[in-house]
Structure 1
């Protein structure tokens, strides 16, 4: 068997004292002595081609003399299920798409086995993360194969891309729904946002109760944005009976999980203690903003390149969201300044703590300064309640 660099694996060498070697007189007439090879059981192995010859009333297999490059490829003799098992382990632990793609492109057999549904279903989220600059028809086809194999991250990512970027509303919702049925928290929360806004339909398409139910299911799975959204819904009585204490408990749980995600590492905890940043918490906990999901990052890159202003649509002002409007005036504006808009209350609360509280002021420039401060304080108090 040859490696990719052209080198061959070492061959087994024979010994003159090996009793398993047969002599010339054991071979039929007409067979050259140089074709005599190692005896294994009742087989004489030599080269790749073989033919059966009777010797001393026993049937043996004589491999005809052939060139070195035509000898048997041991890799081709491996069972298919073993190759698929190894590739499945690789895809589940891959740190980037190149780890899986480079193996698939090695040879025809690895290409066939690497695209097996068992391998694609186990692919890690990092191995199917596609950036906008790498988007192509082949990347779309690869994501589709992963989604058809049942990979949850592929179902969610491709569903978001189809719904918001490719404007295939029904196809995108169908993919996210398949992931949500298997308890994918991010898919449940995205479907909840779609229900809250009536995305892909008219204003009358909103279903607040369905949005709350989906958000509650994602919250039970520990999704931080879903916990925060459900807390605000309970505090405001939005789509559910108002329950301020329960809403504050969900907000506290969301911020606790958010902080716990960043203090698992001792070094990061030391960095936070020495940092002066005051960012994402409804209760003033100093934690840095989380990295957006790869699907949200793809949306941000897609619309940063293609834009939506020519259609009169807006993006969510929260920098980690990337969701665009599917119809005009779909998202809610800030009631004070009117210059920012949000797809959800969770994005509004996060963006307020991160940036907007320093930039929010009424549009009326002639208003006195005390009125601006009072309006900004009212907005902050309403969000924190």
Structure 2
């Protein structure tokens, strides 16, 4: 018994030291003193502004409390679009489950992202369209645009399920939210009288507005004064030089006889970088950042090697990724017949990016248009 007493005392001392050290660690954690509401607010802000999924995951792994409160419904409901920017090769049941949890929490971005994946990748048309509609009801511009494309093409059904009027209405709603693709699509519809009464002037106005919105990120980097290449004097934005007005709108005017070389340099045309999204107006701009959903679709059907189905084609626009849901759903180029597009917006983008250099009438090609 005399031998066991010292050992018992040693064990008691060790336990006391362990409890004391734990208290020190707990007191040294600054987040433990913060109220739950404040931590949830911080995590919600981080969730909405994350530039990639790893940003949010790293925060959850920072401490045990973050990991616990990070699964709060309010945090998941604030998820931003880039939080779901996962790679198609990393798609798994756990990723699907996380997206469903965010949808149940009320995240609009999760509804849109999961809706697109289910509709096009998993071929669950009803569930995908339902999620897209849920996001569209809450004024998600990209979801409105995607639903409009589905209505225009009759995706997921036959040609008889096309609803051009519904598509135009959805494009109009997205255009009011400033969605550039919807502005361009609606402009073409008005010009051609496709699904709506023809109004050429209004269609051109919408197309011009779409180009203005595309060029708006470029203008802040352009100097306010610069030498005019058409004459020897200096022009200013907002000022007047003879009959040539140098302001944001005049650079988009096709009647303009000369465009400032410095603007062309800023927009990337001299170096050959960027994309010619505004060739109609003699001005280039950097390629827009692709949507995470479109990147996922491109990788799913491209790098992953998934086949959209027998006789089905992909949209020829390199930044789209939408596949056909039935044969001959997309419209072909009326000149060469070698490319096909899910929408007029994709056709306009691809024409200015590359197809204007590749499009050759079938009768002028060496193969006689057989390919």
TM-score interval, normalised by the smaller of the two chains: 0.7 to 0.9
How big is the alpha-carbon RMSD for the aligned residues of Structure 1 and Structure 2? 2.8
Residue 322 of structure 2 aligns to a residue whose secondary structure is coil
Cross-structure match for 1:230: 186
Equivalent residue runs for 1:226-305 within 5 Å? 226-266=182-222, 271-272=266-267, 275=270, 277=272, 279-281=276-278, 283-284=280-281, 285-304=283-302, 305=304
**How far apart are the structure 1 equivalents of 2:119 and 2:352?**
29
Equivalent residue runs for 1:151-190 within 5 Å? 151-190=107-146
**How far apart are the structure 2 equivalents of 1:274 and 1:314?**
32
Equivalent residue runs for 1:199-238 within 5 Å? 199-238=155-194
Matched-pair contact (CA < 8 Å) for 1:232–1:251: yes
Residue ranges of structure 1 left out of the alignment (5+ in a row): 1-48, 50-63, 373-385
Residue 241 of structure 1 aligns to a residue whose secondary structure is coil
Matched-pair contact (CA < 8 Å) for 1:255–1:282: no
For these two proteins, the number of residue pairs brought into alignment is: 308
Cross-structure match for 1:145: 101
**How far apart are the structure 1 equivalents of 2:317 and 2:195?**
23
**How far apart are the structure 2 equivalents of 1:65 and 1:115?**
34
For residue 318 of structure 1, report the CA deviation from its aligned partner.
0.7
For residue 288 of structure 1, report the CA deviation from its aligned partner.
3.3
**How far apart are the structure 2 equivalents of 1:156 and 1:66?**
50
Matched-pair contact (CA < 8 Å) for 1:281–1:350: no
Q: Which has the higher mean CA deviation after the structures are superposed, 305-314 or 236-245?
A: 305-314
Residue 325 of structure 1 aligns to a residue whose secondary structure is coil
**How far apart are the structure 2 equivalents of 1:121 and 1:366?**
54
**How far apart are the structure 2 equivalents of 1:115 and 1:80?**
13
For residue 291 of structure 1, report the CA deviation from its aligned partner.
2.3
**How far apart are the structure 2 equivalents of 1:189 and 1:353?**
21
Residue 322 of structure 1 aligns to a residue whose secondary structure is coil
**How far apart are the structure 2 equivalents of 1:310 and 1:250?**
36
**How far apart are the structure 2 equivalents of 1:78 and 1:349?**
53
**How far apart are the structure 2 equivalents of 1:342 and 1:66?**
67
Residue 280 of structure 1 aligns to a residue whose secondary structure is strand
| CA shift digits 1:17-43 (9 cap, x unpaired) | xxxxxxxxxxxxxxxxxxxxxxxxxxx
For residue 150 of structure 1, report the CA deviation from its aligned partner.
1.7
| CA shift digits 1:181-205 (9 cap, x unpaired) | 1111111011000000000111101
For residue 125 of structure 1, report the CA deviation from its aligned partner.
2.1
* Structure showing greater Rg: 1
For residue 148 of structure 1, report the CA deviation from its aligned partner.
1.8
Cross-structure match for 2:246: none
Matched-pair contact (CA < 8 Å) for 2:301–2:308: no
Cross-structure match for 2:325: 326
Matched-pair contact (CA < 8 Å) for 1:227–1:250: yes
Matched, 1:357 2:347: no
Residue 132 of structure 2 aligns to a residue whose secondary structure is helix
Matched, 1:311 2:310: yes
Matched, 1:84 2:36: no
Residue ranges of structure 2 left out of the alignment (5+ in a row): 1-14, 224-261
| CA shift digits 1:224-249 (9 cap, x unpaired) | 00000000000000000011111000
Distance 1:217 1:309, change over 3 A: closer
Residue 317 of structure 2 aligns to a residue whose secondary structure is coil
| CA shift digits 1:336-375 (9 cap, x unpaired) | 21110010111111111221122112223589x9xx9xxx
Distance 1:198 1:95, change over 3 A: same
